Every structure is written in structure tokens, then in C-alpha cells.
Chains A and B, each alone.
Chain A
Amino acid sequence: MNKEHFSEDEWKAIGQAIARLRASVMAVTFGIVGGLMLFVATTWLLILGPTGDSEHVGPTLGLLANFFPGYSVSWSGAVVGLFYGALSGAVSGFVLAFVYNLIVVFRKR
């Protein structure tokens, strides 16, 4: 392939394509990242143990229990957090891709 292979119109078209997002791939990716993030964040606090004057481990992260019933900063809570993180990540990834694709289609029209 060299320069002579391109017409003027083709030349203008290079790099102008707009990517679409695959909702399934986004859901899986965000799900894995979300689940692992919450799992690692919880276990990291457990490994560090109580800090400062507090007797509790991870009091702030523990507030996530308001949104994720059953979650706590404990070893069992880390597994529950893995599940919730994965679930909320997957939903976020899916919605993000879905809305993105809708806007792209709308703007193309």
C-alpha cells in the first residue's frame, strides 16, 4: 500500500470512523475491575488492621453497606463486596456502552 492507492475522498476518510462500544465486553470488563477493586480495597484494609485511635477497620468503606446490603469490612464482606462490585461494574459498563451507542447513532443521523 502506498500513497497512490488512495483517492482524494479515501484520503479524507482516513481516521474518520467512529468506534462503537460492545456492551457485553464493557460489562464484563467493568464488572471484573469493579469486583476486584472492592475486594482488594477491603482485604487491604483488613491486612493493615485498625489505624489511629479507631478500634474498627475501614469505617468509611464500611458505609458502602448502605448501598450493598450484607457488605462489611471483613473477610466474608470482601467476598460479598466482590459480588457487588462486579454487579455494579457490569451494570455501569453496560449502561455506558448502551448510552454511548445510542448517542453515536443519533448523531450520525
Chain B
Amino acid sequence: MNSTDSKVRCVIIGGGPAGLTAALELSRAGVEPIVFEMDKQVGGISRTVDYKGYRFDIGGHRFFTKVDRVHSWWMDILSDEFLVRPRLSRIYYQGKFFDYPLKPKNALLNVGLMEAILVGLSYLKAQAFPYREEKNLEQWVTNRFGKRLFTMFFKTYTEKVWGMKCTEIGADWAAQRIKNLNLGKAALSMLAPKLLTGKNQITTLIEEFYYPRLGPGQMWERVTDMLEERGCPVRLEHRVKTIHRDGEQVIGVTVVDGDGNEERFDADHVISTMPIKDLLNVMDPAPPVDALEAANRLRYRDFLTVGLVIDSPELFPDNWIYIHSPDVKVGRIQNFGNWSPYMIPDKSTSCIGLEYFVQEGDELWTADDEALIELGKKETAKLGLIDPDKVIDGVVIRMPKAYPVYDHGYKENIDSIRGYTDKIPNLHLIGRNGQHRYNNQDHSMVTAMYAAENILGANHDVWDVNVEEEYHEEAHAEKGHGASGERLVPQRVREASPIEILNDAFAKYDPVALGGALGTMLGFVVFLATAGLLLKGGEDAGATLALLGNYFPGYNVTWAGSLVGALWGSIFGYIIGFVIAVGINVTVSIHLGKLLRRLGVLDGPIG
């Protein structure tokens, strides 16, 4: 690397959205970075694979962001090349296609009246018999939607994506990931979608999106061209062999090209988007054992797409379909022509991408391409989406380390790794795998922009970048390393802490809720008793019940009196319930205080 023309020598590892964004930002500021990408093409998981002119988007990338800076950046790069595409996605379950977001008529027609009633009963049952503990995803979702809806729309797909049972996924993830979605909002979005606008709108329900004419890879191919034009090389098929460190500084990087030639580049700064696990394994001298072991404990979820070219101009109207059926392994199917018609070179054909969520080295990952294409044909035909005889070509694209996994102990691992990397101020970790955080494209780009600005003298915390404001607020509550941004990846169920056990054992009653419940019930009882006597009739009907008038002024056994009685019953019931709850809570607090004092944890009263 010719360093004499640059104020700063910067090596960027990885040619995905984060790496290329950082490179372009630096080059715009007068720095001449060099980018090394291990793959044959740029874009990382946002690349678009070209196969005989058919373009495959790996995972489907809508260009939607709440960060104005990122949106402007995209528009600046591709402006005229962006299409505004309508979104249509459906859920396939038990041989039926459900519109997504759900629409009442479509959902009712698909499930049938009887199943709809069962769904309603299941919801009522969940409200009446909720899981007392909400430790895992199944419990959390069932308590809010009922078991039947959980089974239909949450269970199978989640388990396919993450390779874990819903009972093993912590409820915290559901609370963050699905917190904007409840039956009330879902119903409102079905019945009056215009009422849900702007920031209150549920992200997954957005009906239109920007999309580059030739797929998301077009963005990163264009950025690469711009970098080359500016004299900043982007070298493909270059694997990082060693990152050289001298004391608390990185001083250079040795890369190996596709022919096995090694070359060393000195650097004042290194921006890394490579997986942290790999990064720590190429550091020279090696990191401390605990940091290295922590890095080697990090896990990833991998991904493969089986692309099929079909001799048919139209297949189905969706951009993508979620496959919730447990009888096939495919998790999602993309119809690339519906993302952009320019993705298909021959308009008499179509191409689709069957997405399988896998583990590197497992049965699907290691299966040969022919077998995977056959599996894809078989499963798509089984779903009734294509005629397998019309498949004229196929391709398999494997994407290792597509999703960082937040398993048990992941946070401690990241803390341990950062205990080492944070001491190297000119090593900047950004992007999804660079930070082992399930960033979306825009999120990764913001980390890159911040890192570039840090090199130029700013002082951003790249680990504190969070795209969605509501998540940012949550990050303040728990500010451990890597805490923000963990919203999209499930965590395993963890053991209950002593505090949780104490809280379970000494949970309090909500006085308002108990008052409200008892008030509702007593009001109804008085009303029904009065109405029953009135309907029955007779000379002395209700003479005894009318004695309640001694306590309920204005009450008598008449229709008007039944309403007065209901009101009084509610008031009395509320007061009684409230007092009972407060009484129980005081008793519970006294016992809890005694216990804590006996354990030597508490000196004075609680609170």
C-alpha cells in the first residue's frame, strides 16, 4: 500500500455494506483505504448473485430505514436505479396461503368458521389459564395470542430459522421482537390500516419499499466502482492471514490472494467486519487465552439458497412466502421477478430462491448441489407453487455465518473479547459479524459511518449504535457490552435468578385489578339477580332482595333499580377487592422483609 499520499493508512477487512460504507466515507474525507474481501464478489450477505443473467438476492433486502442519513446515502448512490415496489408476502400453512399482514376475510376463509372459533376459544383459554411464568417464547406468545395462533404463525417458522425449540428461546427476545405487535394492533391494522402511520407503524407491515433495479448487490457494486474511481482498491478473493499488533496498536495486515500469494500492508487503522471469532484467531501476537477461548465459543447460524429457474413467466404474486408447514424444510421462498423484473433476463421464465436455515457442516449444508436442487424442486412442488417438470436450471448459494447466535453466555464472551479489543484503539470492529450483532444493513452502515468518523477524530461509541429509537431506550436499562441491538436474535432460556425466585414466591396482587374484577362480578350478580326476579314476576317478587336498598341507596327490584344495583355492586366490589389486595400485599411484604432480614440481606424495611 502506498502510504505517502494518505494522511492515514487504513485497511478495511470485508467488502460488505459495513466495510464498503466505511471505505467510501473515508475516501470522501481524503483518506485512501484499501478493502480486502474474501469472496469473489462484494456485498456480503447483501450481495446479489448473478447466475447466467438471473440475479439472486440472498435473503431478500428491502431498503427501508428509520435513519435519515442512511436513506440519503442510498439515494445519493443509486437515486434513479431505485424502484418503489409493492410488498406482497404470505404465510403458507397447512396447504393454505394467509395474507401477511393478516386480513380478516382471507384469514377466516382459510381457516374456516370452526377453526376460527377454536382460535378464539384458545385465546380465551390463554387469558383464563395463562402460563404463570413467561420464561420462554412459547409461553410469552401463547399468553398473548393463544396456543392455536402460536402453533399456526410462530412455532414452526421460528424453529426453522433458529434451529431451537420455542421452549428453549428466552421470552425476553419475544418481548422485544414482537412487542409492537399484539392482537389489538393487528386487528386495527386489518380494519383501519390508515390509523397506523409513521413511527407507530409495525415495521413488518410496511406495504411498499425501495429496491435497487438489479438487487441489493447493485448498491455495493456501484460503491465499489466509486471507490476504484477514487483510487481506493477493493481486492476480491483476499483472505486475511494475520493482523499484526505491536503493543496496544495494530500495525499491519497480511493477506493471501486466490493464488496463494502473501502480501503485507502496514496500517495506522484497521476496520474489521470479519467474524470476531476469525479475527482473534489471526491476531499476532495471539490474544490472551480467555479472550481467544471466548471468541471460539461464539456460534453462528448459516443459510443456503437453492435458486430455481422455471420455464413459466408467472408463478405467484408474492415477493416472498413464509413457509410455516412443518412437513418441508424450506423456510422462505423468494420470487425475484416480483422484487424487480430486471432480475430476470428472459421474461418467459421466472426464478425463485428457496431459503434453508442450516448449520455449517450439517446434513443440508454438506449435501451436494444436485441433491439440494432436487429437494427444492420436490418441496416447491409439494407446496403447489411450481410444476417440477418446468424447472430448467438450478443453483445453490451457501452463506456461512449469516446470523450471529446469542446463546447462553454470549454476552460474557463478548465482554471478554472486548476486554481485549477495546485496548487496541486503532482496531475498529463494525458490521454484523464484526460486532457479532444481528444488525440490519442500515444498522451496519451506521457503525461504519461512526468508525470512519472516529478515525477522523470523532469519538462515537460504535457499540451503542441502535437504529430503532425504542430499542435505544431499552439499551439504557442494560448497558453491558453488546446489549443494544440484540433484539432480533433469540437467546436461550436462562436459569431464574434469586431475585426472580423471590419475586415469584412473594408476588403481590394488583389492587386495581382485583378491585376491578370483584367489582365487575358483583355488579353483574346484582343485576342478574334483580333481572331474574323481574322476569319471573309474581306478587312479592324481590321483596327480600329489595332489602339491599338499606345499603345501596336508590336500589329496588325494578329495571331501573337493577342498573342502580349494578353500579353499587361494582363500587362495593371494587372497594372490597382493593382492600383485600392491599391487605394481602402488606402481609406478603412483612413476610418477605422477615425472610430478607433473617438472611442478613435487609437492615430496615423493604423499599
Q: Which residues of A contact B (CB under 8 A)?
A: 1-3, 5-6, 9-10, 13-20, 22-24, 60, 63, 66-67, 92, 94-105, 107, 109
Contact = CB atoms under 8 A, between A and B. Distances in A.
A102 B518 contact: no
A60 B606 CA distance: 49
Size category of the binding interface on chain B = 35 or more
A103 B517 contact: yes
Contact of A13 (B499, B521, B600): B499
Given A1-B601, A2-B601, A15-B508, A100 B498 contact: no
A60 B543 CA distance: 11
Contacts of B440: none
B532 interface: yes
A13 to B, nearest CB: 6
Contact of B544 (A2, A63, A105): A63
B508 A19 contact: yes
Contacts, number: 106
A7 to B, nearest CB: 9
Contacts of B525: 92
Contacts of A10: 497, 499
B512 interface: yes
Given A96-B518, A101-B127, A107 B503 contact: no
Contacts of A107: 510, 512-513
Chain A binding surface, main DSSP class:
helix
B129 interface: yes
A19 B127 contact: no
A107 to B, nearest CB: 7
A89 to B, nearest CB: 12
B420 interface: no
User: Which 7 pairs of residues, A with B, have the shortest CB-CB distance?
Assistant: A17-B503, A19-B507, A103-B513, A99-B517, A100-B517, A23-B128, A17-B507
A95 B521 contact: yes
Contacts of A96: 517-518, 521
Contacts of A20: 130, 132, 507
13 contacts: A1-B498, A5-B498, A6-B601, A14-B592, A15-B502, A15-B503, A18-B510, A20-B507, A24-B128, A66-B532, A94-B128, A95-B517, A96-B518
Nearest to B538: A66
Contacts of A63: 544
B529 interface: yes
Contact of B127 (A15, A67, A102): A102
Kindly name the residue among B510, B532, B606 whose own CB sees the greatest number of chain A CB atoms within 10 A: B510
Contact of B509 (A19, A22, A102): A19
